[in-house]
Amino acid sequence: MTDLIQRTILRRTPRPAWMPAPSPFVVALKAVSLVIILALVIFPFLVVVGTSLASQQEVIDSGGWVLWPSVIDLSAYQQILSGGVVTRASLVSAGVTVTGTVCSLVTTVAMAYALARPGLFGGRPILVLVLLTFLFSPGMIPTYLVVQSLGLLGSYAALILPVLVSGFNLLVLRGFFQGIPEELYEAARIDGASEWRIMIKIALPLSKAAIAVVGLFYAVAYWNSFFSAILYLQDSTMWPLQVVLRQYVLEGSPLAGSIATAESRLSAPTSIQMAVVVLAMIPIVCVYPFVQRHFAKGVLTGAIKS
């Protein structure tokens, strides 16, 4: 009964006893700051979505940007999703993102677990090499020469293999695996479990938060990558969505073979550009809410334990 009363009191206490209550001015200042930051974040997003849903004539009359369209017009989405360049590029980006994320997670988890185990032969030199990647970047030309020597030019493997393992993500997972009590590993070994079984049955279930965060990092990196495609893929039909988006937004013209007509590009290209931007944002916007609850826990715990 006493414990129940204490828990009730703690739940009702808004802050620790040693922390003074903020003044009304501070509370108002925080509220105003939050509203301003929220407006700065939401306003550009609404402009992008509103412009993509506006008709061509309304975009022209408003000077190129529409916050709230008078009539919902899906012609821009119909044009870019009617089986042309954008549809093909979206499928390429989805395939590269899913394949790259899975391969990176498998490799990073296996490597992090191995480096987290004491007594690993060569573990210290390998860890030093991983830490050196934070100080020295390979550079564009050496990376291109390595990709060329391996015969990966013109293939989707060139978008995945050079960035298969991230040093930061590796250290986060390694710190998380090291934080698992050693008694669990010892008990599993006494029961005759192999290292692979220990990793799959014990380490991975206890590290779901960190793995979810690392998977999000990899997925966002693969989905947003465009420079590697420009560098390694000479065939424009193999380009992912982000390269097509760059062509639309920065250069003002789609790739050859786009379904957008010349008249639409000249009269109201902005609606098509914003529709491609919205299409590129949808996957991350849909995935992030399911991973967000693991975000702070995974990163902070892994960083502290490292």
Give the pLDDT of the chain (306 residues) as one tens digit per residue.
Answer: 444 444 544 454 456 656 677 778 888 888 899 999 988 888 888 888 888 888 777 777 777 778 788 778 787 787 777 767 778 888 898 999 999 999 999 999 999 988 888 877 877 888 888 888 878 877 888 888 888 898 888 889 999 988 888 888 888 888 888 888 888 888 888 888 888 888 888 888 888 888 888 888 898 889 888 888 888 988 878 888 888 877 776 665 555 444 444 433 433 367 777 888 888 888 877 777 776 666 555 555 544 444
* Closest to 51 in 3D by CA, of 289, 272, 298, 294: 272
Same domain, 67 and 92: no
Q: CATH number of the domain that 133 lies in?
A: 1.10.3720.10
Query: Which residue in 178, 173, 59 sits closest to 110, CA to CA?
Result: 173
Among 45, 76, 107, the domain boundary falls at 76
Judgement on whether residues 102 and 227 belong to the same structural domain of the protein: yes
Q: How high is the pLDDT of residue 291?
A: 66
Same domain, 95 and 192: yes
What is the total count of domains within the chain? 2
Residue 115 shares a structural domain with residue 218: yes
Residues 154/235, Cβ–Cβ less than 8 Å: yes
145 and 292 housed in the same domain: yes
Rounded CA-CA distance 8/32 in Å is: 32
Q: What is the predicted pLDDT for the residue at 109?
A: 92
Q: Which domain holds residue 285?
A: 77-305
Question: Which residues, at least 6 apart from 257, have a Cβ–Cβ distance to it below 8 Å?
Answer: 84, 85, 237
Asked if residue 86 lies in contact with residue 276, where contact means CB atoms within 8 angstroms, the answer is: yes
Are 88 and 140 in the same domain? Answer: yes
Question: What confidence score (pLDDT) does residue 135 get?
Answer: 80
104 and 200 co-located in one domain = yes
- The H-or-E segment that residue 123 falls in is helix 123-132
Query: CA angle, 128 as apex, 122 and 129 as ends, to 5°?
Result: 90
